[in-house]
Structure 1
């Protein structure tokens, strides 16, 4: 039995997230059906993370097991001819039996994009959060800096998937403006449900003056979701970087 890691990218607008669900079209289900026609048996994919409905991935890793002898270099083209245009497999690598796309991932980076202009941009519909009120990225950056480090992130977690602990380590949270586009890049050893979107919403609340950016440590310490900012819409969120010991990227 071979263990194959796939590097892919997808636009999540048409999908109800990554994870297979009974009554909704998901990225995993769509990929598994395409793979099954290539390797001629049912396929179960393990993904790097449970991206939510409408969330995108510029980089994503999934792995599956197969008896098929098809060479790895032929898998991307074979699968892509059976996939819709908004999901693309760019690389396939045979990996050790112990490799697991989520368990072997050392850390992840998400990027949240905000289109901050008085007028909208048609090309950013479902690709960035259109926010017409002017945001001070320096204030957002100051608020973001307080999330860096090892903390209990219960205050920026929505009710969802159960976890053993809400403690995570954020390696960096950078906020950069280029014209009307603000990018918030967050890297951590793992993320809670809606954690990045709630962190971005908290930074925006700070920029709007609803509380001081220096209130973030107290908000985290209080562990109260309603004390933090809102959960930003899913269309602005992208998985943008992953780290593994294996050469799968």
Structure 2
């Protein structure tokens, strides 16, 4: 039995997220699994590094699957990119040791979120950025990013209701880059809770708009209350850039 690792790029606009939903082919997982079955003749379940929400994009999602197929990696890459829809691309096919697991072996991830900050909207970036008309205070936003960096209990920045698992995560860096009206926020961490990046980003934006003080981040960490944080910003401006092993 071979263990195959896929690196996947996708435009998430047409899909209901990563995770398969019954027989629906409106998910990334479902679409790839049906194409793998076409390729190998086997019923295959792929294991993703983690779920992405409906509308979220990926540059470097990772998944693995087991197969008895004798196709070469090059043949698999060619077949998958021929028969998958053109908003989904396999960028790399690798043969891995039997014990490799795309989810359990993850050591960290990088996400990026894009904000178009201008009174005038953008036609070209509208599907991959969140439009904020009002001027943003970049200095305050960077202070907020500094407060979010480090090891904390991020339950207040998550849509999780209840969980027995630890909600402590370490954010190694939040890098802010500006390209004209486009702001890029890169989040690098050892793991992210449900909606965590989108809620952190909503809080950072509301701090930049002056709707929330920078100190609210300390209060959210202390009280662990989701309601004190900012809005959950839209998924279409979020990218999973890379998964670290």
TM-score range, shorter chain: over 0.9
Where 1:200 maps in the other structure, the secondary structure is helix
Contact 2:199 2:233 in 1 (8 A): yes
Structure 1 residues 162 and 123, CA gap change in structure 2 (3 angstroms): farther
Q: Deviations over 1:148-204 (max 9, x none)?
A: 111000111013694611111111112222110011111111110000000001111
Equivalent-residue separation in structure 2 for 1:222 and 1:141 (angstroms): 23
Correspondence for 1:34? 35
Shift in Å at residue 242 of structure 1?
1.7
RMSD of the TM alignment (CA)?
A: 1.4
Unaligned ranges ≥5, structure 2: none
**1:57 equivalenced with 2:46 (yes/no):** no
SS of 1:92's equivalent in the other structure is strand
The 2-side partners of 1:162 and 1:53 are apart by: 22
Q: In structure 2, how many angstroms separate the alpha carbons of the residues matched to 1:208 and 1:47?
A: 36
Point out 4+ residue stretches in structure 1 off by more than 4 angstroms: 160-163
CA distance in 1, matches of 2:50, 2:167: 16
TM-score (norm 2): 0.96
Q: Unaligned regions of 5+ residues in structure 1, if any? A: 245-249
Q: Which residue of 1 aligns with 2:99?
A: 98
Query: Structure 1 residue 134 and structure 2 residue 135: aligned?
Result: yes
Alignment of 1:14-163 (within 5 A): 14-22=14-22, 24=24, 25-159=26-160, 162=163
- Which range moved further: 3-12 or 153-162? 153-162
Distance 1:192 1:137 in 2: 25
* Secondary structure class of the residue paired with 1:146: helix
**In 2: Cα distance, 1:169 partner to 1:32 partner:** 32
Alpha-carbon offset, residue 112 of structure 1: 0.4
1:23 Cα deviation from its structure 2 partner: 6.8
Q: Deviations over 1:2-43 (max 9, x none)?
A: 000011100000001101112751000001111111111111
